[in-house]
Amino acid sequence: MQQKNKTILVTGGLGFIGSHTVVELQNEGYDVLIIDDLSNSSIEVLDGITQITNTKPKFFQIDLKNKEAVVQFFKEQTVDGVIHFAASKAVGESVEEPLKYYENNINSLVYLLQEMIKNKINHFIFSSSCTVYGQADRLPITEEAPTKPAESPYGNTKQIGEEILSDTSKVTPLNAIALRYFNPIGAHASTNIGELPLGIPQNLIPFVTQTAAGIRQELSVFGDDYPTPDGTAVRDYIHVVDLAKAHIAALERLLASKNVEKMEYFNVGTGKGSSVLEVINAFENTTGEKLKYKIVGRREGDITAAYADTTKANEALGWKSELTLEDGLQSAWKWQMKVNS
């Protein structure tokens, strides 16, 4: 659906998922404003987006913890809706530096919402995570599954963020959708944008591609004694382009006032679980690259298995994933070779 003249603010729009969502918004005819503080992204991503869409989004280098800067932005800009990605997201780092995570992820959300409500901007999409479920009691995981005490301050900021939105939407005109991502992987087919982990990758797929590229010596597989078919942990790996498109579907639900609750939650995954060893085999078969790995002990805080029941998103958002695990691994590898070149 073409959305001429609708302007959408994407916070964290130079990040991994944010940049892919900006591309899909521009493909749908939205005007896009990006706020990013460049703390975990680089300005070159703006060129990457522009190379894909031939439309350069307006960029504002703003730290959303700076309340005055947020107030000023909304004084100067007219916005129809907000998709909020800007947050710190390294699980391990959040355990070491909890206050950095609470300040960055919560204060920025509060300041953003205060100014949106003041300026009568009532459509908000929140980047949440399946981490709110912890180890769910039943698989696949539906949105009715109870949230569990977070295993990390990072996960806790996602739960707190959802609660802030739920409480606020009850007593203001704000309408919000929380998208609970499973495991985002891959890169845009153009290889103009992709995942740019700073330092040693925490997540599996960037570590896999950096190992195959010879940047890392060997992949450590964190545990093969889980109660799963091959003993390694199971996750739902969703292509970042499919994930980006889910944000468009959620935004259009709010813009068309089709939401049935003031605050709604959707799982965004493929509905298929893959073990670490299955990912390794799929990577080798898809790319022809041999992967050096060893089995080590479990990583603290990891759960055994998570994969989504995507019925609600399929039916209410009219969205479903179309790309496969192999598509994600292939695009991640092509991106890695581009970054290395």
Give contact residues for ligand WQD (rule: CB under 6 A).
Answer: 89, 91, 129, 131, 183, 202-204, 207, 219-222, 233, 235, 276, 299, 302
SS3 of residue 261 by DSSP? coil
If we measure between CA atoms, which residue out of 336, 314, 256, 298 comes closest to residue 6? 256
Q: Which is nearer to ligand WQD, 26 or 286 (CB)?
A: 286
Phi, psi dihedral angles at 31 (to 5 degrees): -85, 135
123-129 and 175-181: which strand pairing? parallel
Smallest gap from Cβ 122 to ligand WQD, in A, equals: 26
User: What is the b/e burial string over 81-104, where b = at least 16 CB atoms within 10 angstroms of the residue's CB?
Assistant: bbbbbbbbbbbebbeeeeeebbeb
Nearer to ligand WQD, 17 or 79 (CB): 17
Question: CA 311 to CA 316: how far, in whole Å?
Answer: 8
Query: Among residues 6 and 89, whose Cβ is nearest to ligand WQD?
Result: 89
Which pair of structure tokens corresponds to residue 118?
Answer: 């003041």
Helical spans, DSSP H, in 134-194: 153-171
CA distances from 155 to 74, 129, 146, 176, 203 (A): 29, 8, 14, 19, 15
Least separation, in Å, of the C-beta of 134 and ligand WQD?
Answer: 10
Please tell me the distance from the alpha carbon of residue 278 to that of residue 285, in angstroms, as a whole number: 10
Q: Which is nearer to ligand WQD, 8 or 17 (CB)?
A: 17
Distance of alpha carbon 182 from alpha carbon 328, whole angstroms: 14
Residue 223 Cβ vs ligand WQD, minimum distance, rounded to whole Å: 7
- Active site (annotated) includes residue 181: no
- By the 8 A CB rule, do 247 and 181 touch? no
Distances (CA, A) of 273 to 74, 142, 235: 42, 14, 5
- Closest approach of ligand WQD to the CB of residue 38, in Å: 19
Q: Side chain identity at 164, as an amino acid letter?
A: I
> In angstroms, what is the minimal distance from the CB of 208 to ligand WQD?
8
Q: Of 30, 101, 154, 265, which one is the catalytic site residue?
A: 154
Which one, 116 or 132, has the nearer CB to ligand WQD?
132
In the complex, the smallest distance separating the C-beta of residue 240 from ligand WQD, rounded to whole angstroms, is: 11
Nearer to ligand WQD, 263 or 279 (CB): 279
SS3 141: strand
Catalytic residues: 154
